[in-house]
Amino acid sequence: MSTTAVSGGTTVERWLSGHLLLQATLLGGVGYAAVQTINGTNDRDYHYGMTPQAVETLRMVAANRVSFDVSARQYFVTGVAGFDTPGTFRPSSSLFILSIGFSSTVDITAFFGAPGVRPIVGDWDGDGVTTIGVFNPGTGTMALNNTNTSGNGVGDIVFSFGLNGDSPLAGDWDGKAEVPVN
């Protein structure tokens, strides 16, 4: 994980007794980070995002001679700085062909779904990664994957939706993070 950030903050101190001084420092900031999956199957399995950061430091100084420092640091990687890149779907073999850039390279391929299905993509679990799915207009079934890997069309999320002849759509229609429980 690499990160660059700017932070600002303040330090307050308080004498707990005549010989004991407590200093508390709180820093807040925002940075831009790249996180790589260590055991990922793809060495380009990076995730980029804005990273709000908070640093808290407690220092206790006893009689101006001994000090104890406690620090806590937290990072949150969000998906707000990601961007979309193109892909294609080959109906003859239900093959997703995805690129993570804007050149002619193919970075990810995945077979998903039976012949006749229609492609759909979206971030089904809110982790910032767009993944594949298929709509079967013959059976009125949505099958969605949370990874961009080949499958037999069963998918991580399956439910009935739509009628024969419909085309699938995906979007965050209400702008809410919560998934309604049906």
CB of 123 to Ca ion, least distance (A): 4
Please say whether the beta carbons of 131 and 147 come within 8 A.
yes
Q: Which is nearer to Ca ion, 8 or 174 (CB)?
A: 174
Show the CA angle centred on residue 49, arms to residues 29 and 143, nearest 5°.
145
State the pairing for strand pair 2-15/157-160.
Answer: unpaired
- Residue (of 82, 92, 21) closest to 47 by Cα position: 82
CB of 9 to Ca ion, least distance (A): 33
Give, as ranges, the residues between 80 and 139 that touch Ca ion (CB under 5 A). 123, 125, 127, 129
Please say whether the beta carbons of 150 and 111 come within 8 A.
yes
170 binds Ca ion per the rule CB under 5 A: no
Q: Which is nearer to Ca ion, 107 or 123 (CB)?
A: 123
Q: For residue 140, report the phi and psi dihedrals to the nearest 5 degrees.
A: 65, 50
Q: For residue 72, report the phi and psi dihedrals to the nearest 5 degrees.
A: -130, 135
CB of 65 to Ca ion, least distance (A): 53
Contacting residue, 80, 105, 165, 176, with Ca ion by CB under 5 A:
176
CB of 14 to Ca ion, least distance (A): 46
Q: Which is nearer to Ca ion, 29 or 128 (CB)?
A: 128
Q: Which residues bind Ca ion (CB under 5 A)?
A: 123, 125, 127, 129, 172, 174, 176
